Chains A and B, each alone.
Chain A
Amino acid sequence: DGGITQSPKYLFRKEGQNVTLSCEQNLNHDAMYWYRQDPGQGLRLIYYSQIVNDFQKGDIAEGYSVSREKKESFPLTVTSAQKNPTAFYLCASSDSPSQVYYGYTFGSGTRLTVV
């Protein structure tokens, strides 16, 4: 059964620590995306990757880093430089940039809380 797996579902981090959120897809999609959801602000794009070994900053990339070493994996690291990391993080993929009209496939999200 194809889909996107995000892990863990809930994550707690101490201030000053880096943490990595996992995103794996078995849909053979070219493009992958990371969004952040905050109450009243909708989904904001952090980073995206249209092809392996290439990625671009989104609208709110400061304090985050990504890698795309494999087509199926797009991990997101929330660094200590991110001033307000507590949020719901969503990973998504699409068949290719040109297939966006079919819509993204989203994972079920990771709730990150800084304690």
Chain B
Amino acid sequence: DQQVKQNSPSLSVQEGRISILNCDYTNSMFDYFLWYKKYPAEGPTFLISISSIKDKNEDGRFTVFLNKSAKHLSLHIVPSQPGDSAVYFCAASVYHAGGTSYGKLTFGQGTILTVHP
């Protein structure tokens, strides 16, 4: 049961244009969402996050949008740069619920972003 889904395995974008990575979730208990970036043979690094009480969070070139009614979030990168080429994972957490799920992250399958010069 894939509770977090990234339906696009890959995305190719020209340098300077916008990259939009999408993520859908099914568990309505999720209340905190994160995006991670991963280069080959390295561990993922935290990029940006959003709480379910917000619908947008911005950090420099990166903006995450959350649509709770649609159970959908997206990561926008503007402008895209060749160094952004990596695998991007979205992740979700039941942050406020407590119990055994407290602190666990559920990850999507990842989207490979390629930014061409």
Contact = CB atoms under 8 A, between A and B. Distances in A.
Interface of A: 4, 6, 9, 31, 33, 35, 40-45, 48, 50, 56, 58, 90, 92, 94, 96-109, 111
B59 interface: no
B9 interface: yes
Interface of B: 4, 6, 9, 32, 34, 36, 41-46, 49, 51, 89, 91, 93, 95, 100, 102-110
Contacts of B104: 33, 45, 48, 58, 100
A102 B46 contact: yes
B32 A100 contact: yes
27 contacts: A6-B43, A9-B41, A31-B103, A33-B104, A35-B107, A42-B4, A42-B109, A43-B91, A45-B105, A50-B102, A56-B100, A90-B44, A92-B43, A96-B103, A97-B103, A98-B102, A98-B103, A99-B103, A100-B32, A100-B93, A100-B95, A100-B104, A101-B49, A103-B34, A103-B36, A106-B43, A109-B42
Given A41-B109, A42-B107, A42-B110, A101 B51 contact: yes
B109 A108 contact: no
Contacts of B45: 106
Contacts of B36: 103
Contacts of B42: 108-109
A100 B91 CA distance: 11
A9 to B, nearest CB: 8
Given A56-B100, A100-B93, A43 B43 contact: no
B97 to A, nearest CB: 11
